[in-house]
Structure 1
Amino acid sequence: MNAGKRARLTRIGTDGQYVIVPMDHGITMGAVKGLKDIESTIDAVTRGGADAVLTQRGIADRVHPNKNDAGYIAHLNGSTTIGPDENDKRTTGTVEDAIRVGADAVSFHINVGSTYEREQIEELSTLTSEADRYGLPVLAMAYARGPEIDPEADGYNQAVGHAVRLAEELGSDVVKTGYTGDAESFQHVVESTSLPVVIAGGSKGTDEETLDMVRGAMDAGAAGISMGRSIFQHDEPEKIARAVSAVVHDDADAVDALREAGLAVEA
Protein backbone atom coordinates (compact mmCIF):
# COMPACT_ATOMS: atom_id res chain seq x y z
CA MET A 1 0.00 0.00 0.00
CA ASN A 2 1.38 3.39 -0.94
CA ALA A 3 1.77 6.36 1.39
CA GLY A 4 -1.21 8.21 -0.09
CA LYS A 5 -3.59 5.36 0.62
CA ARG A 6 -2.27 4.95 4.16
CA ALA A 7 -2.71 8.65 4.84
CA ARG A 8 -6.23 8.77 3.43
CA LEU A 9 -7.35 5.67 5.30
CA THR A 10 -6.55 7.52 8.54
CA ARG A 11 -8.99 10.23 7.42
CA ILE A 12 -11.92 7.82 7.12
CA GLY A 13 -11.20 5.71 10.21
CA THR A 14 -9.54 5.70 13.61
CA ASP A 15 -6.70 3.27 14.37
CA GLY A 16 -7.87 0.89 11.67
CA GLN A 17 -11.52 0.90 12.78
CA TYR A 18 -14.36 2.58 10.96
CA VAL A 19 -17.68 4.24 11.73
CA ILE A 20 -18.96 5.30 8.32
CA VAL A 21 -22.42 6.71 7.64
CA PRO A 22 -23.43 6.24 3.99
CA MET A 23 -26.04 8.71 2.73
CA ASP A 24 -26.03 7.88 -0.98
CA HIS A 25 -29.67 6.79 -0.70
CA GLY A 26 -30.91 9.89 -2.53
CA ILE A 27 -30.31 8.08 -5.82
CA THR A 28 -31.68 4.80 -4.54
CA MET A 29 -34.74 5.99 -2.61
CA GLY A 30 -35.11 9.72 -3.16
CA ALA A 31 -35.12 12.49 -0.56
CA VAL A 32 -36.21 10.30 2.34
CA LYS A 33 -36.18 11.23 6.03
CA GLY A 34 -32.72 12.39 7.05
CA LEU A 35 -31.67 13.39 3.55
CA LYS A 36 -33.81 16.45 2.78
CA ASP A 37 -31.79 18.53 5.22
CA ILE A 38 -28.68 16.45 4.74
CA GLU A 39 -26.52 19.26 6.09
CA SER A 40 -28.02 18.93 9.58
CA THR A 41 -27.79 15.13 9.45
CA ILE A 42 -24.12 15.21 8.47
CA ASP A 43 -23.39 17.68 11.25
CA ALA A 44 -25.19 15.49 13.78
CA VAL A 45 -23.62 12.13 12.92
CA THR A 46 -20.10 13.53 12.75
CA ARG A 47 -20.54 15.33 16.07
CA GLY A 48 -21.66 11.95 17.37
CA GLY A 49 -18.41 10.32 16.37
CA ALA A 50 -18.74 9.10 12.79
CA ASP A 51 -15.30 8.82 11.22
CA ALA A 52 -16.60 9.45 7.71
CA VAL A 53 -19.71 10.09 5.67
CA LEU A 54 -20.41 8.78 2.20
CA THR A 55 -22.54 10.30 -0.56
CA GLN A 56 -22.78 10.50 -4.31
CA ARG A 57 -20.36 13.12 -5.64
CA GLY A 58 -23.06 15.63 -6.58
CA ILE A 59 -23.79 16.23 -2.89
CA ALA A 60 -20.18 17.08 -1.99
CA ASP A 61 -20.82 20.82 -1.65
CA ARG A 62 -23.43 20.02 1.00
CA VAL A 63 -21.07 17.67 2.83
CA HIS A 64 -17.82 19.53 3.38
CA PRO A 65 -19.08 22.53 5.41
CA ASN A 66 -20.91 20.23 7.83
CA LYS A 67 -18.69 17.19 8.43
CA ASN A 68 -16.70 18.50 11.41
CA ASP A 69 -13.34 17.32 10.03
CA ALA A 70 -14.61 13.78 9.41
CA GLY A 71 -13.58 11.96 6.25
CA TYR A 72 -15.53 11.98 3.00
CA ILE A 73 -16.13 9.03 0.67
CA ALA A 74 -17.61 9.46 -2.81
CA HIS A 75 -19.79 6.58 -3.98
CA LEU A 76 -19.42 5.78 -7.67
CA ASN A 77 -22.35 3.62 -8.73
CA GLY A 78 -26.05 3.32 -8.04
CA SER A 79 -29.56 2.28 -8.98
CA THR A 80 -33.11 3.09 -7.87
CA THR A 81 -35.84 1.25 -6.02
CA ILE A 82 -38.34 2.27 -8.71
CA GLY A 83 -36.29 0.90 -11.61
CA PRO A 84 -36.62 -2.61 -13.04
CA ASP A 85 -33.84 -4.16 -10.92
CA GLU A 86 -32.14 -2.54 -7.97
CA ASN A 87 -29.22 -4.98 -8.24
CA ASP A 88 -28.24 -3.41 -11.58
CA LYS A 89 -25.85 -0.78 -10.22
CA ARG A 90 -24.46 1.59 -12.86
CA THR A 91 -21.35 3.77 -12.72
CA THR A 92 -22.03 7.35 -11.59
CA GLY A 93 -18.54 8.84 -11.52
CA THR A 94 -14.79 8.34 -11.83
CA VAL A 95 -11.79 8.53 -9.53
CA GLU A 96 -10.93 11.92 -10.98
CA ASP A 97 -14.47 13.12 -10.27
CA ALA A 98 -14.05 12.01 -6.67
CA ILE A 99 -10.72 13.81 -6.32
CA ARG A 100 -12.23 16.99 -7.77
CA VAL A 101 -14.96 16.99 -5.12
CA GLY A 102 -12.50 16.47 -2.27
CA ALA A 103 -13.06 12.79 -1.49
CA ASP A 104 -10.66 10.92 0.78
CA ALA A 105 -11.77 7.57 -0.67
CA VAL A 106 -14.22 6.09 -3.16
CA SER A 107 -16.73 3.28 -2.84
CA PHE A 108 -18.38 0.90 -5.27
CA HIS A 109 -21.23 -1.60 -4.85
CA ILE A 110 -21.03 -5.11 -6.29
CA ASN A 111 -23.67 -7.85 -6.02
CA VAL A 112 -21.83 -11.18 -6.12
CA GLY A 113 -24.12 -13.86 -7.47
CA SER A 114 -26.42 -11.48 -9.32
CA THR A 115 -27.15 -11.32 -13.02
CA TYR A 116 -24.87 -8.29 -13.17
CA GLU A 117 -21.88 -9.87 -11.43
CA ARG A 118 -19.67 -10.02 -14.55
CA GLU A 119 -20.04 -6.34 -15.40
CA GLN A 120 -19.60 -5.25 -11.79
CA ILE A 121 -16.44 -7.36 -11.41
CA GLU A 122 -14.96 -5.65 -14.46
CA GLU A 123 -15.99 -2.19 -13.24
CA LEU A 124 -14.63 -2.68 -9.72
CA SER A 125 -11.36 -4.04 -11.10
CA THR A 126 -10.98 -1.02 -13.35
CA LEU A 127 -11.81 1.32 -10.48
CA THR A 128 -9.25 -0.17 -8.08
CA SER A 129 -6.52 0.10 -10.72
CA GLU A 130 -7.34 3.74 -11.38
CA ALA A 131 -7.65 4.59 -7.69
CA ASP A 132 -4.31 2.98 -6.93
CA ARG A 133 -2.59 5.32 -9.39
CA TYR A 134 -3.86 8.25 -7.34
CA GLY A 135 -3.32 6.71 -3.91
CA LEU A 136 -7.06 6.75 -3.24
CA PRO A 137 -8.53 3.94 -1.07
CA VAL A 138 -11.47 1.90 -2.37
CA LEU A 139 -14.28 0.71 -0.12
CA ALA A 140 -15.99 -2.20 -1.88
CA MET A 141 -19.60 -2.79 -0.89
CA ALA A 142 -19.57 -6.51 -1.67
CA TYR A 143 -22.83 -8.32 -1.07
CA ALA A 144 -23.89 -11.90 -1.75
CA ARG A 145 -27.12 -11.31 -3.66
CA GLY A 146 -28.70 -13.20 -6.48
CA PRO A 147 -31.27 -15.78 -7.53
CA GLU A 148 -29.31 -18.68 -6.04
CA ILE A 149 -28.50 -16.98 -2.71
CA ASP A 150 -30.82 -17.33 0.28
CA PRO A 151 -29.83 -15.33 3.38
CA GLU A 152 -31.89 -17.73 5.49
CA ALA A 153 -30.19 -20.88 4.20
CA ASP A 154 -27.40 -22.79 5.90
CA GLY A 155 -24.07 -21.77 4.45
CA TYR A 156 -25.09 -18.20 3.66
CA ASN A 157 -21.93 -17.04 5.42
CA GLN A 158 -19.92 -19.01 2.85
CA ALA A 159 -21.41 -16.87 0.08
CA VAL A 160 -20.74 -13.69 2.06
CA GLY A 161 -17.18 -14.86 2.67
CA HIS A 162 -16.81 -15.38 -1.08
CA ALA A 163 -18.02 -11.83 -1.71
CA VAL A 164 -15.50 -10.20 0.64
CA ARG A 165 -12.67 -12.34 -0.72
CA LEU A 166 -13.59 -11.27 -4.24
CA ALA A 167 -13.31 -7.63 -3.15
CA GLU A 168 -9.76 -8.24 -1.92
CA GLU A 169 -8.80 -10.20 -5.03
CA LEU A 170 -9.88 -7.22 -7.15
CA GLY A 171 -7.70 -4.78 -5.22
CA SER A 172 -10.04 -3.12 -2.72
CA ASP A 173 -8.76 -1.67 0.54
CA VAL A 174 -11.79 -1.98 2.84
CA VAL A 175 -14.86 -4.17 2.32
CA LYS A 176 -18.44 -3.70 3.48
CA THR A 177 -20.92 -6.55 3.55
CA GLY A 178 -24.06 -7.80 5.24
CA TYR A 179 -24.02 -9.29 8.72
CA THR A 180 -24.80 -13.00 8.81
CA GLY A 181 -26.81 -12.91 12.02
CA ASP A 182 -24.37 -13.93 14.73
CA ALA A 183 -20.72 -13.65 15.67
CA GLU A 184 -19.98 -17.32 15.12
CA SER A 185 -21.11 -17.38 11.49
CA PHE A 186 -19.63 -13.96 10.75
CA GLN A 187 -16.20 -15.03 11.92
CA HIS A 188 -15.88 -17.07 8.71
CA VAL A 189 -16.54 -13.90 6.71
CA VAL A 190 -13.87 -11.93 8.54
CA GLU A 191 -11.39 -14.79 8.14
CA SER A 192 -12.06 -14.97 4.39
CA THR A 193 -10.06 -11.80 3.74
CA SER A 194 -7.14 -9.83 5.11
CA LEU A 195 -9.04 -6.59 4.46
CA PRO A 196 -10.82 -4.66 7.21
CA VAL A 197 -14.46 -5.83 7.11
CA VAL A 198 -17.27 -3.43 8.03
CA ILE A 199 -20.92 -4.37 8.26
CA ALA A 200 -23.96 -2.79 6.66
CA GLY A 201 -26.89 -1.74 8.78
CA GLY A 202 -29.48 -4.03 7.24
CA SER A 203 -33.16 -3.65 8.13
CA LYS A 204 -33.87 -0.93 10.67
CA GLY A 205 -34.57 -2.45 14.08
CA THR A 206 -34.62 -1.18 17.63
CA ASP A 207 -31.61 0.67 18.97
CA GLU A 208 -30.65 -2.32 21.09
CA GLU A 209 -30.94 -4.69 18.12
CA THR A 210 -28.72 -2.38 16.10
CA LEU A 211 -26.09 -2.19 18.82
CA ASP A 212 -26.24 -5.93 19.47
CA MET A 213 -25.50 -6.49 15.78
CA VAL A 214 -22.53 -4.13 15.92
CA ARG A 215 -21.27 -5.84 19.08
CA GLY A 216 -21.57 -9.27 17.45
CA ALA A 217 -19.67 -8.14 14.37
CA MET A 218 -16.88 -6.64 16.45
CA ASP A 219 -16.65 -9.81 18.55
CA ALA A 220 -16.20 -11.74 15.29
CA GLY A 221 -13.26 -9.55 14.33
CA ALA A 222 -14.92 -6.89 12.18
CA ALA A 223 -13.29 -3.48 11.81
CA GLY A 224 -16.47 -1.45 12.23
CA ILE A 225 -19.62 -0.45 10.43
CA SER A 226 -20.89 1.37 7.36
CA MET A 227 -24.46 1.96 8.50
CA GLY A 228 -26.95 4.23 6.77
CA ARG A 229 -30.65 4.37 7.61
CA SER A 230 -30.30 3.03 11.15
CA ILE A 231 -28.25 6.15 11.87
CA PHE A 232 -29.31 8.94 9.50
CA GLN A 233 -33.05 8.20 9.85
CA HIS A 234 -32.87 7.90 13.62
CA ASP A 235 -34.87 10.47 15.60
CA GLU A 236 -31.58 11.39 17.32
CA PRO A 237 -28.81 10.68 14.82
CA GLU A 238 -26.08 12.24 16.94
CA LYS A 239 -26.89 9.98 19.88
CA ILE A 240 -27.10 6.75 17.90
CA ALA A 241 -23.84 7.62 16.12
CA ARG A 242 -22.25 8.15 19.51
CA ALA A 243 -23.52 4.78 20.75
CA VAL A 244 -22.28 2.93 17.67
CA SER A 245 -18.93 4.67 17.94
CA ALA A 246 -18.61 3.55 21.56
CA VAL A 247 -19.06 -0.09 20.55
CA VAL A 248 -16.61 0.16 17.65
CA HIS A 249 -13.94 2.39 19.15
CA ASP A 250 -14.31 1.90 22.90
CA ASP A 251 -15.28 -1.79 23.00
CA ALA A 252 -18.48 -0.95 24.88
CA ASP A 253 -21.34 -3.40 25.14
CA ALA A 254 -24.68 -2.51 23.60
CA VAL A 255 -26.57 -1.52 26.75
CA ASP A 256 -23.74 0.59 28.19
CA ALA A 257 -23.27 2.35 24.85
CA LEU A 258 -26.95 3.24 24.63
CA ARG A 259 -27.06 4.54 28.18
CA GLU A 260 -23.91 6.61 27.81
CA ALA A 261 -25.33 8.14 24.62
CA GLY A 262 -28.54 9.08 26.39
CA LEU A 263 -30.79 6.62 24.55
CA ALA A 264 -33.47 4.50 26.21
CA VAL A 265 -32.79 0.85 26.94
CA GLU A 266 -35.67 -1.57 26.70
CA ALA A 267 -36.72 -3.11 30.00
Structure 2
Amino acid sequence: MTTTGTEARLERIGTDGKFVIIPMDHGITMGAVKGLKDIESTIDGVTRGGADAVLTQKGVAPRVHENKNGKGYIVHVNGSTTIGPDENDKRMTATVEEALRAGADAVSLHINVGSTYEPKQIEDLAELSRDAARYGLPVLAMAYARGPGVDSTDAESLGHAVRLAEELGADVVKTGYSGDAESFQHVVESTRLPVVIAGGSKGTDRETVEMVRGVMDAGGAGVSMGRSIFQHDDPEAIATAVSGVIHDDLETDDALKRAGLALEA
Protein backbone atom coordinates (compact mmCIF):
# COMPACT_ATOMS: atom_id res chain seq x y z
CA MET A 1 0.00 0.00 0.00
CA THR A 2 1.37 3.39 -1.00
CA THR A 3 1.85 5.76 1.92
CA THR A 4 2.33 9.51 2.12
CA GLY A 5 6.03 8.88 2.72
CA THR A 6 6.31 6.71 -0.36
CA GLU A 7 4.60 9.35 -2.50
CA ALA A 8 6.81 12.10 -1.10
CA ARG A 9 9.97 10.14 -1.82
CA LEU A 10 8.82 9.20 -5.32
CA GLU A 11 8.64 12.95 -6.00
CA ARG A 12 12.30 13.23 -4.95
CA ILE A 13 13.42 10.69 -7.56
CA GLY A 14 11.13 11.88 -10.38
CA THR A 15 9.18 14.84 -11.71
CA ASP A 16 5.42 14.65 -12.23
CA GLY A 17 5.53 10.86 -12.46
CA LYS A 18 8.36 10.79 -15.00
CA PHE A 19 11.89 9.69 -14.25
CA VAL A 20 15.42 10.39 -15.44
CA ILE A 21 17.50 8.11 -13.21
CA ILE A 22 21.23 7.58 -13.73
CA PRO A 23 22.42 4.29 -12.22
CA MET A 24 26.12 4.28 -11.39
CA ASP A 25 26.35 1.05 -9.46
CA HIS A 26 28.49 -0.43 -12.24
CA GLY A 27 31.67 -0.10 -10.15
CA ILE A 28 30.79 -3.31 -8.33
CA THR A 29 30.01 -5.04 -11.63
CA MET A 30 32.70 -3.72 -13.98
CA GLY A 31 35.18 -1.83 -11.82
CA ALA A 32 36.16 1.83 -12.01
CA VAL A 33 35.30 2.27 -15.69
CA LYS A 34 35.13 5.55 -17.59
CA GLY A 35 32.76 7.96 -15.88
CA LEU A 36 33.05 6.28 -12.48
CA LYS A 37 36.63 7.02 -11.43
CA ASP A 38 35.72 10.64 -10.83
CA ILE A 39 32.12 9.84 -9.99
CA GLU A 40 31.75 13.17 -8.23
CA SER A 41 32.11 15.11 -11.50
CA THR A 42 29.79 12.73 -13.32
CA ILE A 43 27.09 13.08 -10.68
CA ASP A 44 27.40 16.86 -10.79
CA GLY A 45 27.14 16.87 -14.58
CA VAL A 46 24.15 14.58 -15.01
CA THR A 47 22.13 16.29 -12.29
CA ARG A 48 22.88 19.70 -13.81
CA GLY A 49 21.72 18.23 -17.12
CA GLY A 50 18.29 17.33 -15.77
CA ALA A 51 18.59 13.92 -14.12
CA ASP A 52 16.05 13.48 -11.34
CA ALA A 53 18.11 10.98 -9.35
CA VAL A 54 21.33 9.01 -9.27
CA LEU A 55 21.79 5.44 -8.06
CA THR A 56 24.79 3.73 -6.46
CA GLN A 57 25.72 1.00 -4.03
CA LYS A 58 25.66 2.08 -0.37
CA GLY A 59 29.41 2.48 0.04
CA VAL A 60 29.58 5.25 -2.55
CA ALA A 61 26.98 7.39 -0.73
CA PRO A 62 29.59 9.75 0.80
CA ARG A 63 30.67 10.69 -2.74
CA VAL A 64 27.11 11.33 -3.89
CA HIS A 65 25.37 13.82 -1.64
CA GLU A 66 27.63 16.86 -2.04
CA ASN A 67 27.53 16.54 -5.82
CA LYS A 68 23.91 15.74 -6.71
CA ASN A 69 22.64 19.33 -6.72
CA GLY A 70 19.66 18.55 -4.54
CA LYS A 71 18.40 15.69 -6.70
CA GLY A 72 17.22 12.27 -5.54
CA TYR A 73 19.35 9.33 -4.43
CA ILE A 74 18.65 5.61 -4.79
CA VAL A 75 20.68 2.84 -3.13
CA HIS A 76 20.98 -0.41 -5.08
CA VAL A 77 20.84 -3.47 -2.84
CA ASN A 78 22.20 -6.39 -4.85
CA GLY A 79 25.06 -7.03 -7.23
CA SER A 80 27.53 -9.29 -9.00
CA THR A 81 30.69 -8.93 -11.08
CA THR A 82 31.61 -9.55 -14.70
CA ILE A 83 34.67 -11.54 -13.60
CA GLY A 84 32.78 -13.82 -11.21
CA PRO A 85 31.29 -17.21 -12.09
CA ASP A 86 27.93 -15.85 -13.29
CA GLU A 87 26.96 -12.18 -13.61
CA ASN A 88 23.26 -13.10 -13.43
CA ASP A 89 23.70 -14.36 -9.86
CA LYS A 90 22.92 -11.12 -8.02
CA ARG A 91 23.51 -11.28 -4.27
CA MET A 92 22.18 -8.91 -1.61
CA THR A 93 24.53 -6.06 -0.70
CA ALA A 94 22.42 -3.81 1.55
CA THR A 95 19.32 -3.65 3.73
CA VAL A 96 16.60 -1.02 3.83
CA GLU A 97 18.01 0.30 7.10
CA GLU A 98 21.49 0.64 5.58
CA ALA A 99 20.03 2.47 2.59
CA LEU A 100 18.21 4.91 4.87
CA ARG A 101 21.38 5.53 6.86
CA ALA A 102 23.10 6.27 3.55
CA GLY A 103 20.51 8.97 2.82
CA ALA A 104 18.47 7.07 0.24
CA ASP A 105 15.14 8.31 -1.11
CA ALA A 106 14.47 4.85 -2.60
CA VAL A 107 16.02 1.40 -2.98
CA SER A 108 16.46 -0.75 -6.09
CA LEU A 109 17.00 -4.43 -6.77
CA HIS A 110 17.92 -6.30 -9.95
CA ILE A 111 16.03 -9.49 -10.86
CA ASN A 112 16.68 -11.67 -13.92
CA VAL A 113 13.30 -13.16 -14.81
CA GLY A 114 13.86 -16.49 -16.56
CA SER A 115 17.32 -17.13 -15.17
CA THR A 116 18.28 -20.01 -12.91
CA TYR A 117 18.55 -17.46 -10.08
CA GLU A 118 15.00 -16.18 -10.53
CA PRO A 119 13.50 -18.08 -7.53
CA LYS A 120 15.91 -16.56 -5.00
CA GLN A 121 15.64 -13.11 -6.59
CA ILE A 122 11.84 -13.28 -6.37
CA GLU A 123 12.22 -13.92 -2.65
CA ASP A 124 14.71 -11.05 -2.36
CA LEU A 125 12.40 -8.57 -4.12
CA ALA A 126 9.38 -9.67 -2.07
CA GLU A 127 11.35 -9.25 1.16
CA LEU A 128 12.76 -5.88 0.09
CA SER A 129 9.28 -4.59 -0.80
CA ARG A 130 7.95 -5.74 2.55
CA ASP A 131 10.79 -4.10 4.50
CA ALA A 132 10.71 -0.87 2.48
CA ALA A 133 6.95 -0.51 2.96
CA ARG A 134 7.47 -0.27 6.71
CA TYR A 135 9.40 2.95 6.17
CA GLY A 136 7.46 4.40 3.24
CA LEU A 137 10.53 3.87 1.04
CA PRO A 138 9.89 3.37 -2.70
CA VAL A 139 11.26 0.30 -4.47
CA LEU A 140 12.60 0.37 -8.02
CA ALA A 141 12.63 -3.16 -9.43
CA MET A 142 15.11 -3.69 -12.26
CA ALA A 143 13.24 -6.59 -13.84
CA TYR A 144 14.94 -8.01 -16.93
CA ALA A 145 13.99 -10.90 -19.17
CA ARG A 146 17.23 -12.90 -19.02
CA GLY A 147 18.02 -16.56 -18.95
CA PRO A 148 18.46 -19.69 -21.07
CA GLY A 149 16.23 -19.46 -24.13
CA VAL A 150 14.84 -16.05 -23.11
CA ASP A 151 14.83 -13.22 -25.67
CA SER A 152 15.75 -10.13 -23.66
CA THR A 153 13.97 -7.84 -26.15
CA ASP A 154 10.78 -9.86 -26.57
CA ALA A 155 7.78 -7.74 -25.57
CA GLU A 156 5.89 -10.68 -24.07
CA SER A 157 8.84 -11.61 -21.87
CA LEU A 158 9.42 -7.99 -20.86
CA GLY A 159 5.72 -7.66 -20.08
CA HIS A 160 5.97 -10.68 -17.82
CA ALA A 161 8.99 -9.17 -16.05
CA VAL A 162 7.31 -5.83 -15.33
CA ARG A 163 4.12 -7.51 -14.15
CA LEU A 164 6.15 -9.68 -11.78
CA ALA A 165 7.60 -6.50 -10.26
CA GLU A 166 4.13 -5.11 -9.62
CA GLU A 167 2.91 -8.40 -8.18
CA LEU A 168 5.81 -8.39 -5.69
CA GLY A 169 5.15 -4.83 -4.48
CA ALA A 170 7.55 -2.57 -6.39
CA ASP A 171 6.67 1.10 -6.98
CA VAL A 172 8.60 1.68 -10.23
CA VAL A 173 9.92 -0.91 -12.68
CA LYS A 174 12.88 -0.80 -15.03
CA THR A 175 13.29 -3.23 -17.91
CA GLY A 176 14.88 -3.62 -21.32
CA TYR A 177 13.57 -2.00 -24.50
CA SER A 178 11.76 -4.11 -27.07
CA GLY A 179 13.13 -2.08 -29.98
CA ASP A 180 10.18 0.08 -31.03
CA ALA A 181 7.27 2.02 -29.56
CA GLU A 182 4.58 -0.27 -30.95
CA SER A 183 5.86 -3.42 -29.27
CA PHE A 184 6.87 -1.59 -26.10
CA GLN A 185 3.29 -0.43 -25.62
CA HIS A 186 2.45 -4.01 -24.63
CA VAL A 187 5.15 -3.86 -21.93
CA VAL A 188 3.76 -0.60 -20.53
CA GLU A 189 0.21 -1.96 -20.57
CA SER A 190 1.27 -5.09 -18.66
CA THR A 191 1.47 -3.16 -15.38
CA ARG A 192 0.07 -0.12 -13.63
CA LEU A 193 3.55 0.79 -12.40
CA PRO A 194 5.59 3.52 -14.09
CA VAL A 195 7.87 1.72 -16.58
CA VAL A 196 11.37 3.02 -17.30
CA ILE A 197 13.99 1.49 -19.56
CA ALA A 198 17.63 0.58 -19.28
CA GLY A 199 20.06 2.11 -21.73
CA GLY A 200 22.49 -0.76 -22.18
CA SER A 201 25.88 -0.18 -23.78
CA LYS A 202 26.55 3.25 -25.25
CA GLY A 203 25.16 3.90 -28.73
CA THR A 204 25.23 7.09 -30.80
CA ASP A 205 23.56 10.17 -29.38
CA ARG A 206 20.76 9.88 -31.92
CA GLU A 207 20.21 6.19 -31.13
CA THR A 208 20.00 6.96 -27.42
CA VAL A 209 17.57 9.84 -27.80
CA GLU A 210 15.42 8.04 -30.40
CA MET A 211 15.09 5.10 -28.03
CA VAL A 212 13.92 7.42 -25.27
CA ARG A 213 11.45 9.03 -27.65
CA GLY A 214 10.06 5.58 -28.47
CA VAL A 215 9.60 4.75 -24.81
CA MET A 216 7.66 7.94 -24.17
CA ASP A 217 5.54 7.46 -27.30
CA ALA A 218 4.60 4.02 -25.95
CA GLY A 219 3.40 5.51 -22.67
CA GLY A 220 6.55 4.82 -20.68
CA ALA A 221 7.65 6.90 -17.70
CA GLY A 222 11.30 7.55 -18.54
CA VAL A 223 14.68 5.93 -18.14
CA SER A 224 17.09 4.44 -15.69
CA MET A 225 20.04 4.77 -18.02
CA GLY A 226 23.64 4.23 -16.98
CA ARG A 227 26.50 3.71 -19.42
CA SER A 228 24.83 5.58 -22.28
CA ILE A 229 25.01 8.66 -20.08
CA PHE A 230 27.83 8.36 -17.54
CA GLN A 231 30.31 7.08 -20.15
CA HIS A 232 29.43 9.83 -22.61
CA ASP A 233 32.15 12.37 -23.41
CA ASP A 234 29.75 15.03 -22.10
CA PRO A 235 27.41 13.43 -19.53
CA GLU A 236 25.68 16.75 -18.83
CA ALA A 237 24.82 17.25 -22.50
CA ILE A 238 23.36 13.78 -23.10
CA ALA A 239 21.43 14.05 -19.81
CA THR A 240 20.03 17.35 -21.08
CA ALA A 241 18.88 15.71 -24.30
CA VAL A 242 17.28 12.73 -22.57
CA SER A 243 15.61 14.97 -20.00
CA GLY A 244 14.27 17.17 -22.79
CA VAL A 245 12.40 14.23 -24.30
CA ILE A 246 11.08 12.92 -20.98
CA HIS A 247 10.21 16.12 -19.17
CA ASP A 248 9.55 18.55 -22.04
CA ASP A 249 8.22 16.11 -24.67
CA LEU A 250 10.82 17.22 -27.22
CA GLU A 251 11.31 15.39 -30.48
CA THR A 252 14.72 13.83 -31.13
CA ASP A 253 16.22 16.65 -33.21
CA ASP A 254 14.99 19.34 -30.83
CA ALA A 255 16.40 17.50 -27.83
CA LEU A 256 19.79 17.08 -29.52
CA LYS A 257 19.83 20.75 -30.51
CA ARG A 258 18.97 21.91 -27.00
CA ALA A 259 21.84 19.84 -25.65
CA GLY A 260 24.29 21.17 -28.25
CA LEU A 261 24.86 17.69 -29.65
CA ALA A 262 25.44 17.15 -33.36
CA LEU A 263 22.29 16.05 -35.18
CA GLU A 264 24.22 13.50 -37.24
CA ALA A 265 25.75 11.90 -34.16
1:195 match: secondary structure: coil
2:41 equivalent to 1:43:
no
State the distance in 2 between where 1:92 and 1:244 align.
Answer: 30
**3-state SS, counterpart of residue 236 of structure 2:** helix
Structure 1 residue 148 displacement after superposition: 1.8
Secondary structure at the counterpart of residue 96 of structure 1: helix
Name the structure 1 match of 2:79.
78
Q: Measure the CA separation in 1 of the matches of 2:184 and 2:109.
A: 22
Q: Which residue of 2 aligns with 1:255?
A: 253
Matched with 1:158 is 156
Amino acid in the other structure paired with 1:82: I
- Is structure 2 residue 191 aligned with structure 1 residue 190? no
Task: Give the CA deviation at 1:151.
Answer: 3.7
Q: Which among 205, 211, 214 is matched to residue 203 of structure 2?
A: 205
**In the TM superposition, what is the alpha-carbon distance from 1:205 to its structure 2 partner?**
0.8
Counterpart residue number, 1:29: 30
Q: Deviations over 1:219-248 (max 9, x none)?
A: 000000000000000000000000000000
User: Contact 2:199–2:224 at 8 Å: present in 1 too?
Assistant: yes
Give CA deviations for 1:125-171 in whole Å, capped at 9, x if unaligned: 0000000000000000000000020246xxx1101000000000000
Q: Say which SS state the counterpart of residue 180 (structure 1) adopts.
A: coil
Query: Equivalents in 2 of 1:61, 1:262: separation in Å?
Result: 32
Gaps of 5+ in 1: none
- Show the counterpart of 1:125: 126
Partners of 1:19 and 1:138 in 2: how far apart?
Answer: 15
Partner residue in 1 for 2:264: 266
Q: Does residue 233 of the first structure (1) align with residue 234 of the second (2)? A: no
Query: What is the TM-score of this pair, normalised by structure 2?
Result: 0.99
Partners of 2:237 and 2:264 in 1: how far apart? 16
Distance apart, 1:202 and its partner CA: 1.8
Give, in whole Å, the separation in 2 of the partners of 1:17 and 1:249. 7
In 1, Cα distance between equivalents of 2:125 and 2:203: 31
User: Matches of 2:218 and 2:117 in 1, distance apart?
Assistant: 30
CA deviations 1:91-144 (Å, max 9, x no partner) are 000000000010000000000000000000001000000000000000000000
Q: SS of 1:242's equivalent?
A: helix
Q: Which amino acid aligns with 2:256?
A: L
RMSD of equivalent CA atoms: 0.8
Q: How many residue pairs end up in the alignment?
A: 264
Name the SS for the 1:68 alignment partner.
Answer: coil
Partner residue in 2 for 1:216: 214
Is residue 13 of structure 1 aligned with residue 11 of structure 2? no
Task: State the SS of the aligned residue for 1:146.
Answer: coil
Within 2, Cα distance between the matches of 1:52 and 1:254? 22
SS at match of 2:212: helix
1:134 equivalent in structure 2: 135
The 1-side partners of 2:4 and 2:152 are apart by 38
SS in 2 for 1:185: helix
Residue 78 of structure 2 contacts residue 109 of structure 2 at CA under 8 Å; is this kept in 1? yes
Tell me the distance in 1 between the aligned counterparts of 2:19 and 2:73: 12
| Amino acid corresponding to residue 199 of structure 1 in structure 2 | I
CA distance in 2, matches of 1:241, 1:46: 8
User: SS at the partner of 2:143?
Assistant: strand
Partner of 1:244 in structure 2?
242
- State how far apart, in whole Å, the 2-side matches of 1:205 and 1:27 are: 22
Q: Contact 2:13/2:71 (CA < 8 Å) preserved in 1?
A: yes
Find the aligned partners of 2:56 and 2:152 in 1 and give their Cα distance.
27
Show structure 2 runs of 5+ residues with no match: none
**Percent identity (aligned):** 76
